[in-house]
């Protein structure tokens, strides 16, 4: 079976004519995204590629509600986000989105398990027993059950990135955004991390949008979106994955 | 609604992570709090001691006889005759209706006890020697409740039966009399009587020990020629610093001449007041310095933790939650610092009590650090910590998560 993009499934996000400028109203105002139209269905596993400076991180930040768009429509999990205030955006972010960053952004003062549980702590103020169990289970699934009580400083880059993946999935967020999650890893670790994301995508139906410079990994995604100079190029390839 | 569990957990971790910085600022708070607490306790002790000493031989409220004034028969403006009016020589007068006044006082709030006094000038004579004295006729029970005379007796006993007198250490020396011996007390030339020394006291002041002579109320009345009358009513109050108000209220209601210790010791009070203002200034400036210290450390911490703040925001922490994290750090630093500071103050006080001793080997005065003061200090320091953290906390909240993460 080929897991091709399935347009029968409801979209997790829809972007229409999305534009993003920086330094608005100053002499150095610059538009980085020039009208993006993009729809991603629930359960898709999408690669976002493109040359450096093409706006991939910017697009991911806008999708991740970390930065406001300048104009256009953005519907995330059925909700238009354009009119939301900071508190509502934060809530929406916490409920819907998980992040994996290039430079394994873990909190150094907390153990691996606590990092995984952090989204729950933010939400409820405590680490409840059931959440703790779920955190340990997630760590087991990324192969780090033993490292649960270690601080990030004691873990390798690949291990930290696996913890970050477990964290992104801790609250069952339907959409995980990953900005060059393997960019800082050796090939072997990169493959491991990628395989883990793919595994969660297949087992839990989590949608992934992954920025990568690695064509080998991009080729293993359901779909590749290519960004060039702030615009999406006609779909470059429709590569299925078998195994 | 997210609870403060998040803020508390993250604040504690952030502080533990920044070991040296956190330690430094907590020590800073502790020293500031310790010194302020110590000074406060010291000044309180000093002032309490001064007031206790002053009031040891004074009534809190004194009712006096109204002074007779010479009233000019012509209005001064109309004539150029008698511009200067000489005060009349006062003769000893009794307070009108003093029993009713006593009852009135005893039923006044804040007044604890009241006692009648018949006092006037006199001369104590023994053989060749004579000394001018102030003769005080008392009812021992009532008087003792106000001035604690019994405690001050250093020889003999406290008693003022007819024909008995109590005199001070200095007067006994000056006249060369001892217990059981007799002196003659003379007033205004005519009246004189023979008294046996039954007790010798030390009022803590040479002047008073030289002048004060206690006899029974009756004896004094007859010596001063005011049969059945009294010259003053002494009263004590429970709220010392409410004495002025109580006296004024009584005065307004009864029309008697009434003075509280606060008027008769106005200079002392203003000196104490100046002292309190100075310590207030010291406290204020210490608080400002400590708060600046906390704020500067937390501002640096916000800069250092930009990335972490960005991550937390990306994971769904609200601006308010980030604000709370830093306010909480301020509170924790203030609280821990003040607890250590209070312990430090206890140590300083212990040192003071051990080493600052007078010639007699007794501590100069007693300072006690009341737990209420400690609690107050801790609460204030915690609030100061939170206030100091306000600016850093706002910065943390305003941090743009996308910017922070891109770094
Ligand atoms: N905060 C900002 N202010 C101004 N310009 C910015 C800002 N962030 C990004 N840009 C600009 O937007 C453009 C796109 O940057 P972006 O980081 O999105 O590219 P990218 O595709 O992720 O590149 P890379 O592959 O190198 O990570 C760049 O020209 C960059 O200089
Ligand atoms: Mg980028």
Q: What is the per-residue pLDDT across B117-144, written as a single tens digit (0 to 9) for each?
A: 999 999 899 888 889 999 999 999 999 9
Binding site membership of A22 for ligand 1 (Cβ less than 6 Å)? yes
Going by pLDDT thresholds of 50, 70 and 90, the confidence category of residue B86 is low
Question: Is A95 in Cβ contact with B316 (below 8 Å)?
Answer: yes
Q: What percent of chain A clears pLDDT 70, i.e. is strictly above it?
A: 92
Using the predicted structure, report yes or no on whether residue B85 has a pLDDT greater than 70. no
On chain A, the residues whose CB falls within 8 A of the CB of B14 are: 109
3-state helix, strand, coil in chain A (%, to 5): 35, 25, 40
Binding site membership of A56 for ligand 1 (Cβ less than 6 Å)? yes
Going by pLDDT thresholds of 50, 70 and 90, the confidence category of residue B402 is confident
Mutate to test the interface with A, among B301, B316, B405 (most CBs of A within 10 A): B316
pLDDT in tens, B220-273: 998 888 888 899 999 999 888 889 999 998 888 888 889 999 888 888 889 988
Going by pLDDT thresholds of 50, 70 and 90, the confidence category of residue B8 is very high
Size of interface A-B (CB pairs under 8 A): 80
Nearest Cα to Cα of residue B233 among B369, B345, B97:
B97
C-alpha dihedral over B328, B333, B338, B340, to 10 degrees?
A: 140
For all residues of chain B together, what is the average pLDDT?
86
pLDDT, position A240 = 46
pLDDT, position B191 = 65
Mutation choice for ligand 1 from A20, A30, A53, CB with most ligand atoms inside 8 A: A53
3-state helix, strand, coil in chain B (%, to 5): 55, 20, 25
pLDDT in tens, B199-235: 999 988 889 999 999 999 999 998 888 888 899 999 9
Going by pLDDT thresholds of 50, 70 and 90, the confidence category of residue A242 is very low
Integer-rounded Cα Rg, in Å, for chain B is: 33
Using the predicted structure, report yes or no on whether residue A140 has a pLDDT greater than 60. yes
Domain positions in chain B are: 3-54+269-406, 98-255
Using the predicted structure, report yes or no on whether residue A216 has a pLDDT greater than 80. yes
pLDDT, position B129 = 87
Crossing angle of helices B319-355 and B306-314, rounded to 10° = 130
pTM of the full structure? 0.76
For all residues of chain A together, what is the average pLDDT?
86
pLDDT, position A241 = 45
Question: Is A99 in Cβ contact with B315 (below 8 Å)?
Answer: yes
| Strongest mean pLDDT among A99-103, B230-234, B361-365 | B230-234
pLDDT in tens, B167-208: 999 999 999 998 999 999 988 766 678 899 999 999 888 899
pLDDT, position B97 = 84
pLDDT, position B83 = 53
Nearest protein CA to atom 8 of ligand 1, as residue: A58
The complex's ipTM? 0.85
pLDDT in tens, A150-198: 999 998 888 898 899 889 888 888 999 998 888 877 888 888 888 888 9
Cβ-based neighbour number of residue B351 at 10 Å: 11
Binding site membership of A26 for ligand 1 (Cβ less than 6 Å)? no
Rounded alpha-carbon distances, angstroms, from residue B260 to A155, B51, B118: 77, 13, 18
Residue ranges in B56-139 assigned as alpha helix (H): 98-106
Rounded alpha-carbon distances, angstroms, from residue A77 to A8, A207, B269: 15, 11, 74
């Amino acid at each position: 079976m080929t897991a091709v993009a399935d347009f029968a499934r409801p979209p997790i996000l829809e972007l229409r004519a999305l534009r993003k400028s920086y330094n608005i109203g100053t002499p150095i105002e610059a538009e980085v995204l020039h009208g993006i139209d993009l729809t991603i269905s629930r359960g898709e596993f999408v690669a976002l590629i493109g040359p450096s400076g093409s706006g991939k991180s910017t697009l991911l930040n806008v999708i991740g509600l970390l930065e406001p768009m300048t104009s256009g429509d953005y519907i995330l999990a059925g909700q238009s986000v354009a009119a939301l205030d900071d508190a509502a955006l934060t809530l929406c972010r916490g409920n819907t989105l998980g992040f994996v960053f290039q430079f394994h952004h873990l909190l150094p003062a907390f153990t691996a398990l606590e990092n995984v549980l952090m989204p729950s702590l933010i939400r409820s103020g405590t680490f409840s027993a059931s959440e703790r169990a779920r955190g340990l289970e997630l760590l087991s699934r990324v192969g780090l059950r033993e490292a649960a009580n270690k601080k990030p400083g004691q873990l390798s880059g690949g291990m930290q990135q696996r913890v970050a993946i477990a964290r992104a999935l801790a609250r069952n967020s339907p959409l995980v955004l990953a900005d060059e999650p393997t960019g800082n890893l050796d090939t072997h670790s990169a493959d491991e991390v990628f395989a883990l994301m793919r595994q969660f995508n297949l087992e839990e139906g989590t949608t992934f949008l992954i920025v990568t410079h690695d064509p080998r990994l991009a080729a293993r995604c359901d779909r590749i979106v290519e960004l060039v100079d702030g615009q999406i190029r006609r779909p470059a390839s429709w590569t299925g994955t078998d195994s | 609604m997210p609870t403060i569990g998040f803020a508390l957990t993250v604040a504690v971790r952030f502080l533990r992570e920044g070991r040296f910085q956190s330690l430094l600022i907590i020590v800073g708070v502790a020293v500031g709090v310790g010194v302020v607490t110590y000074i406060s306790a010291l000044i309180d002790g000093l002032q309490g001691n001064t007031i206790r000493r002053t009031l040891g031989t004074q009534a809190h409220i004194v009712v006096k006889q109204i002074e007779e004034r010479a009233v000019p028969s012509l209005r001064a403006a109309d004539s150029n005759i008698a511009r200067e009016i000489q005060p009349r020589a006062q003769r000893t007068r009794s307070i009108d209706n003093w029993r009713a006044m006593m009852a009135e006082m005893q039923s006044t709030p804040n007044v604890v006890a009241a006692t009648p006094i018949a006092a006037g000038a006199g001369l104590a004579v023994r053989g060749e020697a004579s000394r001018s004295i102030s003769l005080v006729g008392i009812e021992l029970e009532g008087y003792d409740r106000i001035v604690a005379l019994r405690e001050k007796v250093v020889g003999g006993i406290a008693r003022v039966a007819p024909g008995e007198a109590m005199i001070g250490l200095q007067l006994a020396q000056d006249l060369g009399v001892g217990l059981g011996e007799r002196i003659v007390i003379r007033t205004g030339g005519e009246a004189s009587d023979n008294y046996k020394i039954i007790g010798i006291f030390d009022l803590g002041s040479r002047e008073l020990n030289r002048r004060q002579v206690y006899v029974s109320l009756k004896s004094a009345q007859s010596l001063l020629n005011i049969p059945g009358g009294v010259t003053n009513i002494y009263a004590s109050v429970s709220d010392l610093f409410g004495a002025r108000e109580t006296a004024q209220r009584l005065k307004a209601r009864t029309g008697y001449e009434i003075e509280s210790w606060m008027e008769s010791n106005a200079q002392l009070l203003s000196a104490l007041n100046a002292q309190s203002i100075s310590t207030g200034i010291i406290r204020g400036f210490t608080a400002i310095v400590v708060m600046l210290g906390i704020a500067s450390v937390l501002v640096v911490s916000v800069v250092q933790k930009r990335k972490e703040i960005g991550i937390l925001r990306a994971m769904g922490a609200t601006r308010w939650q980030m604000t709370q994290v830093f306010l909480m750090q301020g509170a924790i630093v203030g609280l821990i610092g003040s607890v250590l500071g209070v312990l430090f103050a206890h140590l300083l006080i212990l040192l003071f009590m051990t080493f600052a001793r007078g010639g007699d080997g007794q501590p100069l005065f007693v300072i006690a650090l009341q737990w209420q003061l400690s609690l107050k200090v801790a609460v204030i320091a915690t609030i100061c910590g939170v206030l100091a953290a306000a600016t850093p906390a706002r910065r943390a909240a305003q941090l743009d998560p996308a910017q922070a993460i891109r770094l």
